[in-house]
Amino acid sequence: MFRRMLIKLLCITILISPAFQAEAQKDSLLIKLKNHPQQDSFRVELLIDACVNAVFSADSSVLKMALEAEAISNKIKYELGKIRSLNSIGNYYYQRSAYVQAINNYIKALKLAENRKDIDNIIIGKSNLANVYNRINKTTESIQLFKECNSLLLSRGDSLTQKRAAILTNMATAYASIKMHDTAAFYYEQVYEICTLKDITFGIAITLSNLGSEYYELNKYNKAIQVLEKADIVVNKMGYDFLKASVYKSLGKNYIAISQKEKGIKYLQKAVSIARENKDANNAIESYEFLHKVYANLNDYYNAYSNALQYHSLKDSIYNLEKDKTIFELNTQYQTEKKEQTISLLKKENQVKALQNKQKNYLIFGIIGLLLIGSFTSFLFFTRFRVQQQNKLLAAKVTTIEFEKDKTRMELTALKSQMNPHFIFNALNSIQEFIILNDKKKANQFMGKYADLVRSTLDMSDKESITLEEEVKSLELYLELEKLRFEDHFSYDIDVSDELFDKNYKLPAMLIQPYVENAIKHGLLHKQGAKNVSIQFNIDSVNQSIIKCTIEDNGIGRVRSAELNSMRLKKHTSFSTGATQKRLELLNKGKENSIVVQFEDLKDSFDQAIGTRVTLRISASQTDYIA
């Protein structure tokens, strides 16, 4: 999160100068607008300049000026003014987190610019849309738009400009967010070349810091240290104090990676100190987390525990701030939509009043012909009455359908609320086992991963659906816990086809995890030797509209598992199995294409059980399931 914010500083530094100039000219713009009431292109440009002056403001006066600029542009057929005013309207909604309205206005502006073949405004339009897609986590769409901007700049010879450096930086950030670190490093290297040739020291410092982070992810630790030490020199020379914590944190992580732990710890401690001083919570959190892990590996449990406390304390405070920010954004969006509805209602009321006045006039002039049109009027009233009755019947049907949907949602929510404590209870049993065995190191590791998984589970509890990426991350957290429990005897792998990530599919929350848990509990728990679970997500080769998830283990098989369960003194019915089946029934209710689950017993050439394969087939139309 912090790296994204830091990278964006390069773009803001490049583009913000006009905003500062507009701030200095604020009073002058208002005076000019007052002295120039004529509805012409000059007033349009004054209004748009005033909007640019307040580009980071969500004040309603900005929308009022942008709408006036659009209205005048339409009246005098001033296309350039209309493009700029639509972008200003989009900026206003973007600042108020009303992303649908922002996208609609940006697209209108982009279409006009494309019709005019106005390259500058095409680049601005695509960049605006890319920024919105970044904000709403549509990374693939964002990257595509940034690529198009880059191609346009190259086509007109702007290969070594600050604007291109900004576009490439944002594109690299997007690739890093989806773990395509090779590609991200490639684009950061191009940014570094541009900034070096143009002597943009601020851009050089940021880009070196970003390259260090990407090289770390690629396990190129020595190369990372080289660029980070260069960044350290530039940062200290130019006084970019707010970058120091990020640079020192990355240096610490890379030195630890090459087994220079003492030096790495010193850099991480330095990063914490500077981050605290600069109120840089994100870098402080990451540094505390890494220090906790390093000390735990060194069996220094006091320092490990101390840094873990600092990490969780600071992370919880950030979590609360982000939650407050989300609530504020939602409230802002609600107020915006409410205001638009009020305006629309007032317009309709005015139209109704105008119509009523018109009807009164017609009534006065039509008194003489009242008898002639009486029968026709009666017919109209009868027809209207019949339509109203039909509408009432239709409304009753809609209400019944909505009631059934709400009932299904509530039943699903109840099931998920039961499944969460069920999983938490199982995990706490594992932690208790480590404590009884006096294995403090494993208990400490397990607690850290368990805390992350619980937070992820709680986040998903009130969501109707989650992205495939979120599902995979949750499965990785869960399987890491199981790996700690089984030690070196357990391994897993998760494979997701590129086409699924590209399309950003969504799944019902916590759909896959119960099947993985059953594979471990019933298939692997009683198996001797190496234990493995393999999970694959891909498009069905026969039916391209089907998403296929395969969960395969090398356990003892369902037959042997059933035999072992039957020998237990105390019979126990698996809650997760029954709850999962009930949840599938609710998800499939009223749907043409159901989620299909198939179980297959795997056997060798001697007809001996060598595992179980579970296959879930989910229709692409069901990836927006209510979960």
Which pLDDT belongs to residue 323? 45
pLDDT in tens, 293-304: 999 999 998 998
Which pLDDT belongs to residue 251? 95
Which pLDDT belongs to residue 474? 86
Average pLDDT on 100-124 reads 93
In terms of residue numbers, what domain contains 618? 403-622
The whole-angstrom separation of Cα 101 and Cα 88 is 12
Residue 114 lies inside a defined structural domain of this protein: no
Average pLDDT on 513-531 reads 87
- Let me know if 471 is exposed, middle or buried by CB neighbors in 10 A (0-12, 13-18, 19+): buried
Average pLDDT on 464-474 reads 83
**Does 11 or 177 have the greater pLDDT score?**
177
Most confident of 170-184, 323-337, 378-392, 451-465: 170-184
Q: Please, what is the average pLDDT of the chain?
A: 80
The whole-angstrom separation of Cα 182 and Cα 215 is 8
The whole-angstrom separation of Cα 292 and Cα 444 is 10
126 Cβ neighbours under 8 A, 6+ residues apart: 110, 145, 146, 148, 149, 152
Which pLDDT belongs to residue 424? 63
DSSP code of residue 54: T
Average pLDDT on 83-98 reads 90
Residues forming a β-bridge with 601: 612
Residues forming a β-bridge with 532: 491
Residues forming a β-bridge with 616: 549, 597
Q: Does pLDDT of 5 surpass 60?
A: no
The whole-angstrom separation of Cα 574 and Cα 226 is 55
The whole-angstrom separation of Cα 58 and Cα 78 is 26
Q: Does pLDDT of 321 surpass 60?
A: no
Query: Hey, what long-range contacts does 140-146 have (CB within 8 A, 24 or more apart)?
Result: 140/178, 140/501, 140/502, 140/503, 140/504, 142/170, 142/174, 143/171, 143/174, 143/175, 146/170, 146/171, 146/174
Regarding pTM above 0.85, the answer is: no
Residue 464 lies inside a defined structural domain of this protein: yes
**Does 94 or 440 have the greater pLDDT score?**
94
Q: What is the end-to-end Cα distance of the chain in Å, rounded?
A: 28
Q: Does pLDDT of 595 surpass 60?
A: yes
CA 298 to chain centre: 36
20 confidence band (pLDDT: 50, 70, 90)? very low
Question: Residues 245, 274: contact at Cβ < 8 Å?
Answer: yes
Which pLDDT belongs to residue 405? 60
pLDDT in tens, 266-288: 999 999 999 888 888 888 899 99
Which pLDDT belongs to residue 81? 93
80 confidence band (pLDDT: 50, 70, 90)? very high
Tell me the DSSP string of 278-347. TT-HHHHHHHHHHHHHHHHHTT-HHHHHHHHHHHHHHHHHHHHHHHHHHHHHHHHHHHHHHHHHHHHHHH
Q: Does pLDDT of 449 surpass 60?
A: yes
Question: Residues 550, 520: contact at Cβ < 8 Å?
Answer: no
**Does 205 or 1 have the greater pLDDT score?**
205
- pLDDT above 70 covers a percentage of the chain that reads 77
Average pLDDT on 486-514 reads 81
Average pLDDT on 81-94 reads 92
Q: Does pLDDT of 510 surpass 80?
A: no
- Let me know if 377 is exposed, middle or buried by CB neighbors in 10 A (0-12, 13-18, 19+): exposed
98 Cβ neighbours under 8 A, 6+ residues apart: 332, 333, 336, 337
Task: Please report how the helices 201-217 and 181-197 are oriented relative to each other, as an axis angle in degrees rounded to 10.
Answer: 160
- Across 254-258, 415-419, 565-569, least confident range: 415-419
Most confident of 31-45, 68-82, 346-360, 470-484: 68-82
284 Cβ neighbours under 8 A, 6+ residues apart: 245, 271, 272, 275, 276, 310, 314
Residue 588 lies inside a defined structural domain of this protein: yes
Which pLDDT belongs to residue 4? 40
Residue 135 lies inside a defined structural domain of this protein: no
Count how many domains the chain has. Answer: 1
The whole-angstrom separation of Cα 515 and Cα 581 is 11
The whole-angstrom separation of Cα 219 and Cα 619 is 38
Residues in the chain: 627
11 confidence band (pLDDT: 50, 70, 90)? very low
Average pLDDT on 479-494 reads 84
**How many Cβ atoms are within 10 Å of 459's Cβ, its own excluded?**
14
pLDDT in tens, 180-195: 999 999 999 999 999 9
CATH of the domain at 584: 3.30.565.10
Which pLDDT belongs to residue 564? 84
Residue 422 lies inside a defined structural domain of this protein: yes
**Which secondary-structure segment (H or E) carries 44?**
helix 41-53
406 confidence band (pLDDT: 50, 70, 90)? low
Which pLDDT belongs to residue 16? 36
**How many Cβ atoms are within 10 Å of 205's Cβ, its own excluded?**
25
Residue 559 lies inside a defined structural domain of this protein: yes
Q: Does pLDDT of 6 surpass 50?
A: no
Residue 482 is which amino acid? E
- Across 32-41, 51-60, 261-270, least confident range: 51-60
Residue 269 lies inside a defined structural domain of this protein: no
The whole-angstrom separation of Cα 553 and Cα 612 is 6
Which pLDDT belongs to residue 206? 93
Most confident of 15-29, 262-276, 371-385: 262-276
Residue 618 lies inside a defined structural domain of this protein: yes
327 confidence band (pLDDT: 50, 70, 90)? very low
**Does 317 or 398 have the greater pLDDT score?**
317
Average pLDDT on 540-545 reads 82
- Across 62-66, 128-132, 508-512, least confident range: 508-512
Which pLDDT belongs to residue 21? 46
- Compute the Cα dihedral for 281, 282, 283, 289 and give only its sign: positive
Q: Does pLDDT of 343 surpass 80?
A: no
234 Cβ neighbours under 8 A, 6+ residues apart: 201, 204, 205, 208, 240
